[in-house]
Amino acid sequence: MAQNKKTSSDEELKRVEEMNQIELIIGQVLRIGVLVSAVVILLGLIMIIVTGKTGYAANLYPTTVNAILSGIVELRPFAIVMLGLFLLILTPVLRVVVSIYAFVKEQDRLYVWITTFVLIILLIGMWIGYSGK
């Protein structure tokens, strides 16, 4: 009986250890996501400060995927800034995605479902935003 108890607490300890590992990896993934978006935004801002131009007429900026993509190809500063802002918007979504992975690893099926459900709601929101134009 006492032996059993010890084994289960050892397993528990190992699991906690593993979860700590996963959380550290998640932290790194998120940090990279945030850094990439920050670098892209900064790049665009520095271009504006250096050249004094936004790449667009006064009070204009790209808001559709096509306009932003073609603006990036032409290296227009505002298009690059908008890409960075969009990447920043995606970082919380990335948070949800990696959390699903964490719960899968933890074999917590209830929370795999709950977190997947949150992701689906977010995707519906994006679809509404995109089609509501």
Partner 1 sequence: MINTILLLVVVGLAAGIFGAIFGIGGGMIVTPILTLLMGLDIKYAIGASIISVIATSSGATVAYLKDDMLNLRVAMFLEIATTVGAIVGAILTGVLPSMVLYMLFGLLLLFSAWNMFRKMRAGKETSEAIQADSLSTKLKLNGSYYDNAVDKQIDYQVSNVPGGFAMMLGAGLASGLLGIGSGAFKVIAMDTIMKMPLKPSSATSNLMMGVTAAASATVYFFNGSIRPEIASPLAIGILVGATLGSKIMKHLRARVLRMIFIPILFYIGLQMFLKGFGVTI
What distances in angstroms separate CA 16 from CA 12, 36, 66, 80, 125, one per listed residue?
6, 30, 46, 42, 35
- Among residues 26, 36, 72, 104, which is the contact residue for partner 1, using CB under 8 A? 26
C-alpha 54/C-alpha 99 separation (Å) is 37
Does 75 help bind partner 1 (rule: CB under 8 A)? no
- Among residues 8, 9, 24, 69, which is the contact residue for partner 1, using CB under 8 A? 24
Amino acid in position 120: I
Query: In the complex with partner 1, which residue's Cβ is closer, 7 or 132?
Result: 132
Does 84 help bind partner 1 (rule: CB under 8 A)? yes
Total residues in contact with partner 1, by rule CB under 8 A? 53
C-alpha 81/C-alpha 42 separation (Å) is 8
Structure-derived torsion over alpha carbons of residues 78, 133, 116, 29, reported in degrees to the nearest 10: 0
* Triad 91, 75, 67: Cα angle to 5°: 65
Does 70 help bind partner 1 (rule: CB under 8 A)? no
Q: By the criterion CB under 8 A, which residues form the site for partner 1?
A: 23-24, 26-27, 30-31, 33-34, 38, 41-42, 44-45, 48-49, 52, 54, 61, 63-64, 78, 81-82, 84-86, 88-93, 95-96, 99, 102, 108, 110-111, 114-115, 117-118, 121-122, 124-126, 128-130, 132-133
